[in-house]
Amino acid sequence: VAGPAVGRARKLIEQANYPAALAELDRAVKQDPSFTYAFAWRGTAKVRMGQFNEAMPDLNEALRLDSRNVLALSQRGYAFFLLGDNGRALADLNAAAEIDPSSPAPHAFRGLVYSDMGEQEKAFSELNRALKLNPDFPVAHGGLGSVYNKQQEYEKALPAFNKALTLAPKSVLSLSGRGFSNLSLGNYDRAVDDLNQSIAINGKFPRPFINRGRAYLALGNFQAAIKDFNEALKLEPKSVQALLQRALAFERLRDFDKARADLQAALSLSPSHPVAIAAIQRIDNKLGGARPTEERSGGRIALVIGNSRYGSFDSLANPKRDATLIADALRKSGFQDVKLLTDAGREVLSESLKTFAEDSKKANWAVVYYAGHGIAKFENDADIPKESVALDQILNAVGAADKMRLVILDACRENPFVTEKKSLSVGRGLARIEPESGTLVAFATKHGHLATDGAGDNSPFTTSLVRRMD
């Protein structure tokens, strides 16, 4: 009796018309309270709506009626994943895959879980297995896009999301993911279009609001950015990223009091967060102002850093030699004050950057060169702010020079921790950066790609740079 209502609901779910689908499924449950698929599809509709906790009673009831219902197991596993419980997610998805090895859904969802756990090879294997079972399974294509995003291979992510959206135009996952790819590639208008669609379908996820706000920031629409960060913070009040981004928007509007308030709030959630500390230092520099050019006596100054030795990972051969070569070249090029720092730990590096920031207030040119790993050893994502130095701190160090502010990073080497299970959100190398006007950041390679160490005593990037420096 309930079958036709469930059939109509399935079509409505694919059209993202969830209220109408729920009405049909409520009718189906009343018509036949023992029909497992009425509960399974009602739970599925709630998962698609972002109501993960609300979906659980329906999915549990479906499984009480039929413990081997693959749809209910798959959707409950996906809901657990979205709630951050990867252990329970895998338990359900493993059971679903064992019951019906021909179903692509358990493999596709399991791929998303493995990707979240940092096991990208397993993720690729599961997602490709799902596509072998069904080449037109949209979740698997969207999942591949998500994995490429995490690896900062945005050019590969776009075709995967395009394919997913051809098959399922209303997929919030794929629209949001493609929006992030476009944002990361600097396609800000396209990013806004994708994220607009994602939010219109389901506005209960904070990430699309944060990413759309970042796109608005890049486009100079600061008020729209602040509105999006406000929405993200309503959905996730303890979002450090939303606070940091909103602070940046307030800073661009020169509303420094509100910017500081957000930065202090971020620090209360993540003490010693280097990006927040760097932003406060940057605001202080702006409020303090710089001395007129004619009073500057520092001329051209440079801080050259080469980190070859690491306490918790293999040493690098080139950075110390690269830094020494660069320091010599800068001195020969007319820099009056060149400080060479090698194998510096976090505290020494932070203090050196603070001192250099003060020196740059007297300088016409300020240059920081860094060679070494682009990311520190850490146990989990929460440790990153405690164990690393933010790129913003380096940008601050040159920020007060009045004629040239330059940061050179020979640091886009392969992230040695990307395959570790606990490395949840790191990519292949240093990410894209958009410095403020008047500051140049030079990378050894484009964002998301790896720089080669070469076969000689120095990296090819540094060798070429020194050859052309004069």
**Each residue's pLDDT expressed in tens, for the chain with a length of 470 residues:** 788 999 999 999 988 899 999 999 999 999 999 999 999 999 999 998 888 899 999 999 999 999 999 999 999 999 999 898 999 999 999 999 999 999 999 999 999 999 999 899 999 999 999 999 999 999 999 999 999 998 889 999 999 999 999 999 989 989 999 999 999 998 999 999 999 999 998 898 899 999 999 999 999 999 999 999 999 999 999 999 999 999 999 999 999 999 999 999 999 999 888 788 888 988 887 776 544 444 556 789 999 999 888 766 667 778 899 999 999 999 988 888 999 999 888 889 889 999 999 899 889 889 999 988 776 545 555 555 556 677 788 888 888 888 888 999 987 545 545 544 443 344 444 555 666 667 888 888 766 555 666 666 888 888 888 888 87
Distance CA 214, CA 206 (A): 13
Identify the CA nearest to 60 among candidates 71, 44, 72, 50: 72
Strand order in the sheet with 337-342: 337-342, 299-306, 363-371, 404-410, 439-443
Identify the pLDDT of residue 395.
Answer: 85
Q: Write the single-letter amino acid at 196.
A: N
Q: Decide: helix, strand or coil at residue 314.
A: coil
The DSSP 8-state label assigned to residue 333 in this structure reads T
| C-alpha span between 381 and 362 (Å, rounded) | 37
Give yes or no for a contact between 31 and 1, defined as CB atoms under 8 angstroms apart. yes
Regarding pTM above 0.75, the answer is no
Q: In angstroms, rounded to a whole number, what is the distance separating the alpha carbons of residues 452 and 447? A: 14
Residues 470 and 365: their CA atoms lie apart, in Å, by 15
Rounded CA gap, 49 and 236, in Å?
A: 17
Residue 291 CA to residue 401 CA, distance in Å, equals 10
Beta bridge partners of 407: 368, 441
